[in-house]
Amino acid sequence: MEKNAAERFRFRGGLPAFEEETEFRLTAAAEWDPFVVLESVRQGGPRFVCVRAEAVAAGYKAHLAAEAEVELGAGGAGPEDLLYLAVVNEAPGGGLAANLAAPIVLNKRTGVGLQAVGAAPEYPAQATILGPGERESC
């Protein structure tokens, strides 16, 4: 995705706990890198700060189920087509963490996305990206 750009993605089943939200806009800006914002196109809908998974865990790999690959249209997708994002959340005790265990996967070629729950069980759901003291400096 180009920096300072926004793209739209369709999520057939929405996201867990937000099943009715099926269209999201991904916004990136050069000064935010490696962070992006994924937000519902519906006014007042949910918004998530995400981070590119490989920025948190070098060599990040998720194992998509066959159904997920079909839904994404990932059969002929190259590595440049798929974007793996980790949702950022507050870590226990403060700071920020990223959910690497259940990545949001976006196919930039088809404009389809999904959250692949269970696709990366070898990674933590609470990977620390900023400790409590570091968060204050953001």
CATH of the domain at 71: 2.30.290.10
Q: What is the pLDDT of residues 17-65, one digit of tens each?
A: 999 999 999 999 999 999 999 999 999 999 999 999 999 999 999 999 9
* Spatial CA neighbour of 8 closest among 103, 117, 113, 79: 113
Parallel, antiparallel, or unpaired: how do β-strands 127-130 and 112-115 relate? unpaired
Domain tally for the chain?
Answer: 1
CA distances to 41, 65, 74, 130 from 77, rounded to whole Å, are 25, 15, 5, 32
Q: Which domain holds residue 114?
A: 5-136
Report the C-alpha gap between 28 and 89 in whole angstroms.
18
Q: What is the pLDDT of residues 52-102, one digit of tens each?
A: 999 999 999 999 998 998 998 877 777 788 999 999 999 888 889 999 999
